Amino acid sequence: MVELALPKNSRMQEGKSWPRPDGAKNVTEFRIYRWSPDDDANPSIDTYYVDRDDCGPMVLDGLLYIKNKIDPTLTLRRSCREGICGSCAMNIDGANTLACTKGMDEIKGSIKVYPLPHMPVVKDLVPDLSNFYAQHRSIEPWLKTVSPEPQKEWLQSHEDRQKLDGLYECILCACCSTSCPSYWWNGDRYLGPAVLLQAYRWLIDSRDEAKGERLDNLEDPFRLYRCHTIMNCAQTCPKGLNPAKAIAEIKKMMVERRV
């Protein structure tokens, strides 16, 4: 049996435990991953106590309670608070999701919060998404045409527009890609579920005229074919999308154009 061990400087240790709020009756414990590049110390797990009667119902509300009222050094990303921007993606209670749409009532016991897995950490709950965004740009996620540009807009039938349902809703939160074991081990070459779902979105757009070029860009043993249909991506997507299905459709396109 193979045993994997973290390097000594990456092993987590017990961190600071903050006091319970005075007079609070409805309290939830948060255990949060902490690490700063400015400190010469291993990552730690700090413990906080949130007064549920003094904050909103979502995990993000609890995190903001901690940052605003207990520990202003806690670092995280957030923006829309409506499940639209994807900024607050993190690992909560062992699963990748959005802190703004995950209810505290959905979690039994203490709430454990970590940054998205297998990504470099900038600080605390903030992952470095530079490689993820570079991969997204590599598929050229914009309309490519050779036909003369129309005076108004590129027209599309209702039927063709419906083909994009289940694809355009992706918010690039990276929950799916960072839940994928294939992406963990080959993230420098395998594009991952999120980017490949975006690639398929442009491959089937009836207005786009670069299908062959786009497929050529994906024809690589690693960029596309590292998907092994583990299905973590579909299970964890906070928008209910199915990147694995999109990847399978791209593979089908690859076969069909050779026939």
> DSSP readout, 160-220?
HHHTTTTTTT-----TTGGG-HHHHHHTTT--HHHHHHHHHHHHT-TT---HHHHHHHH-S
Q: Is 122 helix (H, G, I), strand (E, B) or coil?
A: strand
Please tell me whether residues 178 and 90 are part of one structural domain.
no
Mean pLDDT, residues 234-254 taken together: 98
Please tell me whether residues 122 and 134 are part of one structural domain.
no
Percent over 90 (pLDDT), the chain: 92
Q: What is the pLDDT of residue 10?
A: 79
For the chain, how many structural domains are there in total? Answer: 2
> Of 98, 126, 154, which closes a domain?
126
| Tokens (6 digits) for 178 | 């960072």
The upper half-sphere exposure of residue 8, i.e. CA atoms within 13 Å in the direction of its Cβ, equals 1
> Of 126, 153, 173, which closes a domain?
126
> Of 93, 126, 159, which closes a domain?
126
Q: Is 58 helix (H, G, I), strand (E, B) or coil?
A: strand
Residue 3 is assigned to a structural domain of this protein: no
Q: What is the mean pLDDT of the chain?
A: 95
> Is there a contact between 150 and 217 (Cβ–Cβ < 8 Å)?
no
Condensed to tens digits (0 to 9), the pLDDT of residues 159-184 reads 999 999 999 999 999 999 999 999 99
Residue 185 sits in which domain range?
A: 130-256
Please tell me whether residues 189 and 231 are part of one structural domain.
yes
Please tell me whether residues 120 and 184 are part of one structural domain.
no
Residue 2 is assigned to a structural domain of this protein: no
The answer to whether residue 1 scores a pLDDT higher than 70 is no
The answer to whether residue 4 scores a pLDDT higher than 60 is no
Please tell me whether residues 103 and 80 are part of one structural domain.
yes
Q: How confident is the model at residue 40 (pLDDT cuts 50, 70, 90)?
A: confident
The answer to whether residue 14 scores a pLDDT higher than 70 is yes
Residue 1 is assigned to a structural domain of this protein: no
